[in-house]
Structure 1
Amino acid sequence: MDWFPLTLFCAFSLAAADTLTKAKLSDYSARELAFVRLTLAGLLVSPLLLSQPFPELPGVFWGWVAAIVPLEILAMLLYIRAIRDYPLSQTLPYLAFTPVFVTLVGYLLLGESVSGDGFMGILLVVTGAWLLNFDQAELREWRTWVNPLTHIFRNPGPLTMLSVAFLYSFTAVGGKGAMQYMAPELFGPLYFVLVGVALLPLLMKPLSIRRIWRKPLPVFGVAGLMGIMLITHFIALEQVEVAYMIAVKRTSLLFGILFGAFIFRETGLRSHLLAGAVMLGGVFMIAAS
């Protein structure tokens, strides 16, 4: 299958996993949900590690992995708290800031220049974030025009997801570095397995693991959707440049807004979709740059 429909299916699977987590597992702790979404999902995709022989891996590969695995776990814990405790339409769109942070980190740390398209993409993402909180401003009072952006830092839901986007900017760079030494379709399952194993010490408190199995159907549903997301992610990644694939995958924010409106009765569908579409347009411009 071509990379584009695969990536859309990947984005849909991620949004569906988020929705099922919020709908059926909202009484689980962040640690328990991280086990479901990372450790259990990693177990489900682990047979893929037998699909081809392992290459010889240099120390620098393991250095990249050691650097990003803790960030991945921290990002997932924050991600879970954001989607579990706050509206999807007010949290998921902020994942669009991941490529913005990647661009800015590259500029600040590596001296990489930002092209005109990249700069316009950043402005579009920020504009989308402004539109997402449009109700915080009074158009007739210019002093309030900055309120939609400062609202992000006063609201724990958006701020938490913005932190996730910042962490993902580093895991994206680290994952790209690691995949210089291993094919994406093999790196993906290995990475999830390693993250899942690294997460286990957080679950060693009494009853933590036993409590997870009290809702087996939604637990395996979420883990299965995350596994599908992972498989389609790395199959699509084989066929196209990383930036384009990640840009299309961010359509998950639009799916999340729709799920939030139709399943959780979140209000403001039109304005949220407009804001999400503007942010997604910015992501595509950054990818194209």
Structure 2
Amino acid sequence: MTPEPRLRIAMQKSGRLSDDTQALLKRCGLKLNVSDRRLLAHVANMPIDIMRVRSSDIPGLVMDGVCDLGIVGDNTLEEAALERALMAQKSQYIRTTGLNFGGCRLSIAMPEGFDYQGIDSLNGLRFATTYPQLLNRFAKANGINIEFCLLKGSVEVAPRVGLADGICDLVSTGATLEANGLVEVEEIFRSKASLIQTVTALPAEKQAILDTLLPRIQGVMKAKESKYIMLHAPKDKIAQVSALMPGKETPTILPLAGRDDLVAVHVVATETFFWETMEQLNALGCNSILVMPIEKMMG
């Protein structure tokens, strides 16, 4: 008996993207059976397998067609694509959708006291980094010559022990740089997580699974960025109220029982809804203004 085709997704085994990825898949309705000791996790309610690996392995697994999909940081993805292209290996992939977690930046940082006068100040220096291809691309684009030493961890200590003049590493809050006496001087790449897909055509059975999963992922992403707003508004101020509502959706106007002067206004907002906007609505005579998170969206 031929086994049922199963979509295979590569994700980070542990680290900053692992928890967010698991949360995303669970919000998409996938029942995960994840164990720290197992690299392959099975989804109980859909024909999907989750391969849990190092982040640096995910791009190659997708580019080589071992996994159908992968969730990985753009920094890791771009570094791998540049390296594989340099080595004449497969480097093609489809960036199916950007995800709204895993935000960080790849930056150059120098020791406190370094007299930074612009990019030319970096010419001829040596940098410790985990991302040599992205660093080299930045250097070439800006016409400077640099050296680098490749480190897979503890990059921040390199200047202090005399291994390098500065570093090129991921920055989130900057607290680690400050703790090691470093100052961020140039941002060279901004990153979030992405869902990527192999360029190899999927069999019809796997494509059907993807066609179910992808709208769910996009719906979760859209819901996370949106708010549901409800309020009561004076009937004669609908035009002014609608003009203040953020987003592109047309507000829904509903009658209120026993009130001829007020109507209920409902809208999904995909932009930030500020306190100032609420105060302006209140000044127009609106009341019962509610701003609520949305768990799922579709369509």
Name the TM-score, length of structure 1 as normaliser. 0.24
Tell which has more relative contact order, 1 or 2 (C-alpha 8 A, sep 6+). 1
Structure in which a larger fraction of residues adopt strand: 2
Rg (Cα) greater in structure: 2
Structure number with higher helix proportion: 1
